[in-house]
Amino acid sequence: MDLEARAHSEHAHELRLWLRLLTCSQLIEKRVRAGLREQFDTTLPRFDLMAQLERHPEGLKMKELSHRLMVTGGNVTGITDQLVNEGLVERLGVDGDRRAFRVALTDLGRATFAEMARRHEEWIVDAFEGLSPRDLESLHKLLGKVKAHQLDINQRIDE
């Protein structure tokens, strides 16, 4: 049973919409996780770490990776160790700080990630294949309104 199935017609329409969004997100993520596992023998957290490094060719410190991925340093260290052992990332020294290092993709890591990213994009495009270009634009615009409202609420909370 998915999350949406828990909602009943007497629940607020907004709650039913929220559960539908969560269900769609979970179903798409399940497909992405399966594709990464089956085609690349990797996981979504490893893909996400490599994606961060792809955006920062100079590399990132472990603390920066942890912050960007919103996970603990221990999680980042474990994933990084695996990727180093596979030759996909490397640890680089930081000038002026012998204790610190940056993590960066190797040439093999860049090539591997490029293929994973290409397939990832295909899976996401496939997920929305049932929508017309007009539907996609409308959904994007509506979700943008939801996002903007939530950012306003969060800003007020943070003040």
pLDDT at 145 over 80: yes
Burial of 48 (0-12, 13-18, 19+ CB in 10 A): middle
CA-CA-CA-CA dihedral for 105, 108, 111, 114, to nearest 10: -40
Residue whose structure tokens are 């990727």: 83
Distance of CA 118 to CAs 17, 83, 113, Å?
30, 20, 8
User: What are 98's strand-pairing partners?
Assistant: none
pLDDT digits (tens, 9 = 90+) for 36-89: 999 999 999 999 999 999 999 999 999 999 999 998 888 999 999 999 999 999
Question: pLDDT class for 3, splitting at 50, 70, 90?
Answer: low
User: Which one has a higher pLDDT value, 13 or 26?
Assistant: 26
User: Which one has a higher pLDDT value, 151 or 72?
Assistant: 151
> Cα separation of 44 and 50, whole Å?
10
